[in-house]
Amino acid sequence: MQTVQQFTSLSHLSCSQCGHKYDAFEVHSFAPCCNQPLVANYDIPETFTRNLLRGREANMWRYREVLPVMDPANIVTLGEGMTPILTPRHLREKYGMPSLFIKDESLNPTGSFKARGLSAAVSKAKEAGAHTCIVPTAGNAGGALAAYCAAAGLKAIVVMPRHTPKVFKDECNLYGAELILVDGLISDCAKKVAEMKQTTDCFDISTLKEPWRLEGKKTMGYEIAEQMNWTLPNVILYPTGGGTGLIGMWKAFEEMERMGWIGSHRPRMIAVQAATCQPIVHTWQGVQPNCRKYVGRPSIANGLAVPNPFAENMILRVLRESKGTAIAIQDNDMIAAVKEVARMEGLVMAPEGGAIWEALLELIAQGTIHREEKILLLNTGSGYKYLENIC
């Protein structure tokens, strides 16, 4: 027990809306008090300092004191995390942005940032004694769940839109997952998952309907601070579907300030969506009161086709607190942006990455972002999975 206590400082879960506390050592989905996501809280020891990171493994589990796994034997890892922050010199020169950076999440296992969240969630499923995990997905999360369940010796059930590109289906099959195809978007897949849970005993890893994927995703925030010598950029542009990464980075910044690792400076957080599916943009702009009745359409950026994000309130809170904004990008502009970055920098970004590059150019033209600011783009996945639709 002593080793377990030293490994994590996890203390309790709390409702993201009202703060009501829940036992972190029991299995939970979301907070029944407000029907909102649960978040993990830690009693971080003063002995956990930045100096302790020196010499640790170059993956996200280097931050284990603020990750939720109690017993290190339950960690399921494929080496996720510590992705590079690139300096796009040609784009800097062409567009006059001297402090432009790209964090390239495509170098994670299974080719996307989803590896972080699924590593944490599958580890906790293993720790809870689960034998089957299930997830509704627009693409990358399904492949990541399949891979991490294979590594953990657990069964994976992936529920995916039928129109998803074939490569995403192939990787799920390759890892031995049970793949179920549904007509519609990820919201329709979520309905199928809810239906299946009535008769199937499984650990539901739907976006923010359990608290652990958020903890894996927040490690992007820790890495950004560490890789930038404990300073943060002025602006972070992030492709936002379910919003776990956006919320997770904000949570990491709060935790690090509480530990004294960083100061109070925060970047403006920019949520980038697809024009065909922009529920956060519409709520942010006052077009609708919330996203519950929003109807979206497919996008070439599969991860952005999330019409009813469960964590809408949390996403909007991050935008307000950071003095950020939300913007939507057309699919054809995403494709053009992917091609430009590939030709100028040798980096094949996912369409979601193309969306943030186009969003940056539009926000600079509007005067919302200034060229001389320290700007960080999050490329969340590899464009190689999308080549049949891009080229």
User: Among candidates 298, 349, 316, 339, which has minimal Cα distance to 163?
Assistant: 298
State the Cα–Cα distance between residues 103 and 90, nearest whole angstrom: 16
Entry pTM = 0.94
What CATH architecture applies to the domain 85-111+213-390?
Answer: 3-Layer(aba) Sandwich (3.40)
The answer to whether 357 and 95 have CB atoms below 8 angstroms apart is: no
The answer to whether 378 and 86 have CB atoms below 8 angstroms apart is: no
Question: What pLDDT does residue 229 have?
Answer: 97
Q: What is the pLDDT along the chain (391 residues), one digit of tens a residue?
A: 333 344 788 999 999 999 999 999 888 899 999 999 999 999 998 999 999 999 999 999 999 999 999 999 999 999 999 999 999 999 999 999 999 999 999 999 999 999 999 999 999 999 999 999 999 998 899 999 999 999 999 999 999 999 998 999 999 999 999 999 999 988 899 999 999 988 989 999 998 999 999 999 999 999 999 999 999 999 999 999 999 999 999 999 999 999 999 999 999 999 999 999 999 999 999 999 999 999 999 999 999 999 999 999 999 999 999 999 999 999 999 999 999 999 999 999 999 999 999 999 999 999 999 999 999 999 999 999 999 888 7
3-state SS, residue 269 = strand
Max alpha carbon distance in the chain (Å)? 58
85-111+213-390 and 114-209: identical CATH topology:
yes
What CATH architecture applies to the domain 114-209?
Answer: 3-Layer(aba) Sandwich (3.40)
Distance in Å from the first CA to the final CA of the chain: 54
- C-alpha count within 13 angstroms, C-beta hemisphere, residue 256: 26
Question: What pLDDT does residue 388 have?
Answer: 82
Q: Which residues contact 270 (CB under 8 A, 6 or more apart)?
A: 235, 236, 237, 238, 324, 325, 326, 327, 356, 359, 363, 369
Question: What pLDDT does residue 389 have?
Answer: 80
The CB density around residue 107, as the number of other CB atoms within 10 Å, is: 17
Q: Which residues of 289-310 are buried (b: 16+ CB within 10 A; e: fewer)?
A: eebeebebebbbbbbbbbbbbb
DSSP state, 8? -
The answer to whether 331 and 276 have CB atoms below 8 angstroms apart is: yes
The CB density around residue 337, as the number of other CB atoms within 10 Å, is: 22
**Sheet holding 132-136: strands in order across?**
178-182, 155-161, 132-136, 203-204
Mark out the alpha helices in 260-311 (DSSP H runs): 279-284
The CB density around residue 270, as the number of other CB atoms within 10 Å, is: 27
Question: What pLDDT does residue 4 have?
Answer: 39
- C-alpha count within 13 angstroms, C-beta hemisphere, residue 335: 11
The answer to whether 118 and 155 have CB atoms below 8 angstroms apart is: no
| Domain definitions of the chain by residue range | 2-65, 85-111+213-390, 114-209
Helix and strand numbers (H, E) in the chain are 14, 13
Question: How would you class 11 by CB atoms within 10 Å of its CB: exposed for 0-12, middle for 13-18, buried for 19 or more?
Answer: middle
DSSP state, 31? B
Structure tokens at 338: 């992917």
Question: What pLDDT does residue 124 have?
Answer: 96
Question: What pLDDT does residue 138 have?
Answer: 84
- C-alpha count within 13 angstroms, C-beta hemisphere, residue 214: 27
Residue 242, Cα to own-chain centre: how many angstroms?
A: 8
